[in-house]
A and B are shown apart, each in its own frame.
Chain A
Amino acid sequence: MSELKYDQKICTKCEKIDCLTRCQHIALELEEARQEWMKILAGRDSRVLHECLTCYACEEYCPYHNHPFYLIVDRQEELSAWPVPVPLTKQQIAMMAPKGQIVAQKVSAPVINLCSFPMLAGCIQGKLFAGASIIGGNDLFCNIMWLHFAKNSVIRERLPKVINNLMDYYLKVSGVDELICFHDECFGTYTQLAPAFGIEVPFKPVHLFEYLTKKLTELKKEIRPINAKVAYQRPCSNRLVPETQHWVDEIFKLIGAIRPAREYEGENALCCGMVVQAAQRDDQADDLQKRNVDDMAAAGAQYCVFNCPMCFMTLKGMVAERGMTPILISDLCRIALGEGFWG
């Protein structure tokens, strides 16, 4: 069992308890936050374990990168403080199980990993992805989603096998050492989550945003500026890798998209609401979604751009109802290159 790389002394000495006092969903003053956090450190029950919406934000708020969110999830599992009804969790675990149908395949760089969204293969076309190899399917599912289900045990069990699959069936046999992560979740998993659990990642994960930035720079002369205001829906997993946020600005600059100032941006970004619905808290999900989409509309956005396919599927109807065009970021870039788009 991979132990979480976490230093209790750091938390004990922490004066601000940012992980809880900055929480967007649980109102806690400093003293109460400290008490609740001490309970969690001691392995005792806490209201936090039951009220946590699993938005990942505390992982970003911790100034010491001490993985408070992963610890919360470990404690939820230890104390059976399930955020999602048990049958739903079991069903999701069965749904996302590896299929064992993977076959070795020679690939060549760039290798685009679609994780458990192989149905998005239609997005991988045009000049941005010329010559790319596409891989995906449940056998390559990064498994980060179990953070929403208090099931770190599933991550610990399945993630090493997924990494082996990536290496043994694709990368090693092809002599490729870079993997383009189409979904932010995968990049977060391989660069931040896996190391936190002591799981080795023997390849170089590359974020889609970085890849797009490089390709767009190469194709700069062919870009026709979008000249439109574009709101960005930051996915929960990006809380693990906030250092990738600057790529969004660089992409916007390259394609001539305007990123309007918004209330719910960056560290103040709001969850798409899907996991909140899984936790059976529809009222809260409604509130998050309304505030988020209202904010996009108030900023005058004409597009709402997504990286996470699940955020896209969850919010696209609401975004469209408000007159904005929901779109995946790869598709937005393709529009700037004068190409059609898939999603």
Chain B
Amino acid sequence: MEEIYRELVKIVGERFVSNQPEERFLYSRDPGTMEPHAPDWVVMPNTTEEVQKIVRLANRQKIPLVPMGGGLVLSGLSRPLQGGMVLDMKRMNRILEVNEASSYVVVEAGASQGMLQAYLKKHHPRLKHSIPDAPPIATIGGNVLIHGSGHLSAAGGFHSEMLNGLEVVLPTGEVARIGSCSASPYWFSRSPLPDLAGLFLGWHGTTGVVTKLAIKLFPARPWNDVGIFVIEDPELAPDIIRRLARVQVAEDILAWMSPKPDWARGFQMINIAYGAETKAELTLKRNLIRESVRPYLERKVGGFMPLPPDMKVRFLEAPQSTLAVFADVNKGGGFEYVGAIMPVELFAPAFRKGLEIAERRKVPYSLGARIVGLAHCMMFFYAYAFNRADQADVRRAQTALEDTNALVLEMGGIPWKAETPAQKQIIKKMDPNTFALMNRLRAVLDPQGIMNPGNWEA
């Protein structure tokens, strides 16, 4: 063990490697409910070359290697289930290039959402990226690789769909470039080449270590507004969401349902955020959005909340700070959710069954759905807060999450960034040939089986 430590010190320097109990404790867990698993070493590389050397060392020694971004996935995917090394990518946080003409940015995998947001605001104020509702230290790389979604997902789909290209250190130590950057100095697209990005998206770090990536940027508009459409019948939601999305002016459509504050209980609120270059364009877009749901307005079964501009400000925040308030509603800082990728038509049963689970397990809940694309699907989330210092509370939330994962699969959805038990549930439902193909690809890429073992395993 000491020898490995010394090797790692040689690669990254003494300040950036640890085998001490404090770091091993911190890196053994995330804010979710999954049991802790301590690493033997935590290492923070600064360059792709250092990552290569670490991967080669892990290969030689057959040591498990778990890449980690912000460590905020909540479902425990960066816990080293079989010990070994946690590869904390946060030092590799450089913003390498912004191409204004083709609207993309190239970043290192440890660059955080907050850093890029601030950087663009300062240096490229007419461009922005899609921000997930995660703390600002969440990494861009991590979120793209788990198929995240965010404040531009109605316009641009999943964050993985906004990916233009990757640089990845393969489990055997070679560096590969994926997308246009493999054959051009520009990182403009994954097309028209064979799309190898799929080998690294949704695999939870089991197929390589992404070191750089390019993502699409979008216009940052000077005029912005949000409408909040309120209904009290979840059966209406799918059609309303489809209508709102198909107008193709929304940047983000987010439904939310919560028992708190009191006035929100029993209602479904659908936030529609949009931006424009001029006030006149903003008004035009508002009118288009309103017109799309005209039949519901005329029947008086839904309507846009009347809010003065000051009261809209918090709904235009990215990320939304209100989620942080909910995350600590029980105090003790525990928060986890099942994000279920599912068709929009399942909104009503997803909502009703979520309420049943929260009631049965007696956990504070917040439900919602981020719409992806033109209502092509949604990320329906069931969030449960708990006190990490209270084991009974943790257990209640854990049980609610297990129930929810089972429910999601039963309805026809798929748990997103699934915890290892949920991965097993997914595999059970998966076409066996699909799972066999996954295993064959993984065996080719990672012959020693060092990459985040314990994930995507039956």
Contact = CB atoms under 8 A, between A and B. Distances in A.
Given A85-B297, A91-B263, A286-B283, A313 B308 contact: yes
A277 interface: yes
A317 interface: yes
Contacts of A86: 232, 300-301
Interface in B239-262: 261-262
Contacts of B287: 282-283
A95 B309 CA distance: 18
A170 B262 CA distance: 26
B308 A310 contact: yes
Contacts of A42: none
B300 A91 contact: no
B102 to A, nearest CB: 35
Nearest to B236: A87
Interface string A294-337: 00000000000000001001100100000000000000000000
A275 B297 CA distance: 15
A94 B263 contact: yes
B286 A87 contact: no
Given A82-B300, A87-B301, A91-B263, A278 B311 contact: no
B306 A277 contact: yes
A85 B263 contact: no
Interface in B105-153: none
10 contacts: A85-B230, A87-B267, A87-B302, A88-B303, A90-B267, A95-B262, A274-B308, A280-B303, A314-B308, A317-B309
B290 A282 contact: yes
A67 B370 CA distance: 48
Contacts of A90: 232, 267
A280 B290 contact: yes
Contacts of B263: 91-92, 94-95
A278 B263 CA distance: 16
Contacts of B230: 85, 87-88, 91
A90 B283 CA distance: 27
Main secondary structure of the interface of A (DSSP, over half): helix
Nearest to A93: B263
A97 interface: yes
A86 to B, nearest CB: 5
B232 A282 contact: no
A282 B308 CA distance: 13
Contact of A94 (B262, B309, B311): B262
A181 B261 CA distance: 28
Interface in B276-302: 283, 286-287, 290, 296-297, 300-302
Contacts of A283: 287
Nearest to B304: A280
A246 B428 CA distance: 78
Interface of A: 82, 84-88, 90-92, 94-95, 97, 274-275, 277-278, 280, 282-283, 286, 310, 313-314, 317
A298 B230 CA distance: 38
Contact of A313 (B265, B305, B311): B311
Interface of B: 230-232, 261-265, 267, 283, 286-287, 290, 296-297, 300-306, 308-311
Contacts of B311: 313
Contacts of A97: 262
B103 to A, nearest CB: 30
Contacts of A95: 261-263
Contact of B286 (A274, A278, A282, A313): A282
B136 to A, nearest CB: 28
Given A87-B301, A280-B297, A317-B309, 14 more contacts: A84-B300, A85-B297, A85-B301, A87-B230, A88-B306, A91-B230, A95-B261, A95-B263, A97-B262, A280-B303, A280-B304, A282-B290, A283-B287, A313-B308
B300 A274 contact: no
User: Closest 6 A-B residue pairs measured CB to CB?
Assistant: A85-B303, A313-B308, A95-B263, A278-B306, A94-B263, A87-B232
Given A85-B302, A88-B303, A97-B262, A313 B232 contact: no
Contacts of B231: 87
A313 B310 contact: yes
Contacts of B309: 313, 317
A310 B302 CA distance: 23
Nearest to A283: B287
A87 B304 CA distance: 10
Contacts of A91: 230, 263-264, 267, 305
Contacts of A313: 308-311
Contacts of B262: 94-95, 97
A97 to B, nearest CB: 7
A84 B302 CA distance: 9
A282 B293 CA distance: 14
Contacts of B300: 82, 84-86
B315 to A, nearest CB: 15
Nearest to B261: A95
A292 B286 CA distance: 21
- Most B-side CB within 10 Å, residue of A82, A85, A92, A94: A85
A94 B261 CA distance: 10
B251 to A, nearest CB: 20
B97 to A, nearest CB: 38
Contacts of A314: 308
B215 to A, nearest CB: 33
A234 B265 CA distance: 35
Contacts of A85: 230, 296-297, 300-303
A310 B131 CA distance: 32
Contacts of B304: 277, 280
A275 B301 contact: no
A228 to B, nearest CB: 25
A44 B265 CA distance: 35
A86 B232 CA distance: 9
B314 to A, nearest CB: 14
A94 B306 contact: no
A86 B230 CA distance: 10
A29 B138 CA distance: 64
A87 B267 CA distance: 8
Given A91-B230, A280-B297, A274 B283 contact: no
Nearest to A86: B300
Contacts of A310: 308
A248 B152 CA distance: 48
A52 B262 CA distance: 30
Contact of A84 (B286, B303, B308): B303
Nearest to B279: A321
Nearest to A92: B263
A286 B282 CA distance: 13
